[in-house]
Amino acid sequence: DPPALAVISMDGGRYQRRDHFRSDPTQEVEGKHWRETKVGCLLSMQSEVHASDPSPQFPTWLATAAVVAELAKIAEKTTVSASRSPAQEAISPRGDERLYEPPKLVSREVVASSHEAERFGWELEARAWQLGFPAAPRQAFVADGLPVNWSIAARHFPRATPILDLMHGLSYAWSAAAAVDGGGSYRQWAEWIWNGEVTRAIAALEAHQQRLGMPPEDAQTSDPRWRIDRALTYCRNNQSRMNYPEYRRQGLPITSSHIESTIKQINRRVKGSEKFWCREPGDAVLQLRADSLSDSGPLDSFWRRWQAQQTGVNCYHAAA
């Protein structure tokens, strides 16, 4: 049976590859050692559909700039300390605050490879068909703002509701606010994003851009002009995928937390300063790691089939 809620999510990891092992040492090798892995999660989930947004009130814990910076992994290059941000006033929910209840995970299937985006899209779609995802009454595709994610979503999962990961959207708002006024604007911008009023956040960013000007080509990441332009471009490109009140009403996920944790589990096996792979064995290990993380246990069924086919007789080739 198809799941009540089918969620597709994808992201990229990193690993080191040396395709020139055992090749001519005098031959030049193009490209760098660090390559991208592509990982997809196919999540069967359960949730309720509501008549209206079940959590219209902006969560107080999301008002803490330090929390957003930590989750979004953008704190390392910021010049404004999150501990000094005016947005950091409370981290516990108020008594009258209704916390958002995300969909419950029923099962997870994982797909991973180093193939190019087009091929990986077909691999992800094929596995989704095996799981009955196209027949699910509700479908969602959740990812960050990387354009390749949304080209795969449009081509291979056109019936799924496209959703930009909320934490990525908030992190861009935090970075811009920290640069222009020490974070004082962050809470207001974050509330607009939470409430789906992205046009208001875009208007505020445009006002700051008009005041400060466009960033030069050699602008540093600490330059307020660079941060504002980066946040503005991100919100404009993803505005159609940031209707979070409607997603909460439909019981859809609004973060990509499952794929983010899966990437870390994949990276534990293949990523490391001392780990190098050739393409074919690297892809094999990626697939094995993905199978080991899938709740359907494809490795268990494989070993059962393999053992059932054993006859106990060793086959030897005749000597020449």
For 195-268, list the strands marked E by DSSP.
none
Query: In angstroms, how far is the first alpha carbon of the chain from the final one?
Result: 55
Single out the residue of 147, 113, 132, 135 nearest to residue 40, CA to CA. Answer: 113
| Cα dihedral 223→229→230→231 (10° resolution) | 110
pTM: 0.84
pLDDT in tens, 3-24: 999 999 999 988 888 876 555 5
Give me the pLDDT at residue 240, please: 96
Pairwise pLDDT comparison (67 vs 198), residue with the higher score: 198
Q: Which two tokens stand for residue 19?
A: 């395709």
Tell me if 298 sits within 8 A of 36, measured CB to CB: no
Mean pLDDT of the chain: 85
pLDDT in tens, 156-200: 999 999 999 999 999 999 989 988 998 889 999 999 999 999 999
Residue 167 amino acid letter: M
Single out the residue of 220, 221, 254 nearest to residue 238, CA to CA. Answer: 254
Give me the pLDDT at residue 275, please: 86
Give me the pLDDT at residue 306, please: 72
Residue 165 amino acid letter: D
Pairwise pLDDT comparison (67 vs 252), residue with the higher score: 252
Give me the pLDDT at residue 134, please: 96
pLDDT-derived band at 253, boundaries 50, 70, 90: very high
Give me the pLDDT at residue 297, please: 83
